Amino acid sequence: MGLREYLIKRIIYTVILIFGVITMNFFIFEAMPGSPLEAYIARPGMTAEIVERLKEAFGLGKPWYEKYPIYVKSMLQFNFGQASVQMGSGRVSDLILDRLLNTILLISLSSAFAVVVGIVIGAYAAHERGKIFDSFVVLTSLATFALPTFWMGLVAQAVFGFGLEWLPVQGTQTLPPIQDPIPYWMDRIHYLVLPAAILFLFTYGGFVLLTRACVLETMTEDYVITARAKGVKERNVLIRHILKNASLPIITNVALQFGFMLSGAIITESVFQYKGLGTLVYEAIQLRETPVMQAMFYIIALCVIIANFLADVLYGLIDPRVKYG
């Protein structure tokens, strides 16, 4: 089977999986006692506009077999209804879009640095196995990977915020968008440093340990021994022969990391009061905003599915041993 046929096959599987996620999301909330959506529209303060939008998106008041096709259509069109007054009385999709950039900035920057630094340090630690550098890297990686993010966040706030007063401890920005973008983005970066650093410390340790384990497993392969016997430079052996062939588990981990990007970092964002999708999920759970929760669960699952699809395609492009079939 060639690449074209494989892509068609994977696209079909992905579409089926998306419909499966939508179906599961529908029946989970449908099977919950008390009908959360029906209870949601019965709360005080719900305006007629909000109720009508929710009926349009979810088919409220109809039997499940009539609500299901309406629900599927709404999910595919990203029509998630309207939130209550407590959440701002806006459309759920607008609430998500308002915070989307903040989460993308936070998660993508911290994850990108964590992936690059983790892979480089993990590969070099495997090369220096048993030495002081290797022991130090493993110890610190286990520590940062195991420590709770909220604890690291509180310590960072105490040291760099309240103690040294170098960085703000809460918020997303101070300056509104203005014509001159430089002061605005400098202000955004100022608020981004601490939460991004905490997520980097929490994430990079996992990539260090995974890369180190994969490289150590590959270093004993025959083609590596042959390359060294031919006099290939150790740097080229590590990059072209070892790291490249050990990359499949790393690609899977990277795909899952970026697949969960839109879920936001709920704990970290809550500690720093960072207005991202993570705090949106937290607020929705506190306020029992069922439409927001349904929308976020669907979007998170959708991102993971797409990330896994891209990882499957990359397997064959990076590793010639992988055959499409």
Domain boundaries, the chain: 3-87, 92-318
Sign (positive/negative) of CA torsion 99, 100, 102, 106? positive
Along the 325 residues of the chain, how does pLDDT read in single tens digits?
566 777 788 888 889 999 998 998 888 877 777 677 777 777 776 777 777 888 888 877 778 788 888 888 888 888 888 877 777 667 888 888 888 888 888 888 888 888 888 888 888 888 788 888 888 988 888 888 888 888 888 888 888 888 888 888 887 777 676 667 777 778 788 888 888 888 888 888 888 888 888 888 777 777 777 777 777 776 677 766 676 777 777 777 777 777 666 665 778 888 888 888 888 888 888 888 888 888 888 888 888 888 888 877 777 666 655 555 5
Give the chain's end-to-end CA distance (angstroms, integer): 5
Q: May I ask the CATH class of domain 92-318?
A: mainly alpha
Q: How far apart are CA 296 and CA 279, in angstroms?
A: 12
Q: What is the pLDDT of residue 37?
A: 75
Instruction: Enumerate the β-bridge partners of residue 199.
Output: none
* Cβ-Cβ contacts under 8 Å for 280 (sequence gap 6 or more): 95, 96, 99, 264, 292, 296
Length of the chain: 325
Any idea which residue has 């203005």 for tokens? 178
| pTM value > 0.85 | no
Cα dist. 99→269, 275, 302 in Å?
12, 6, 18
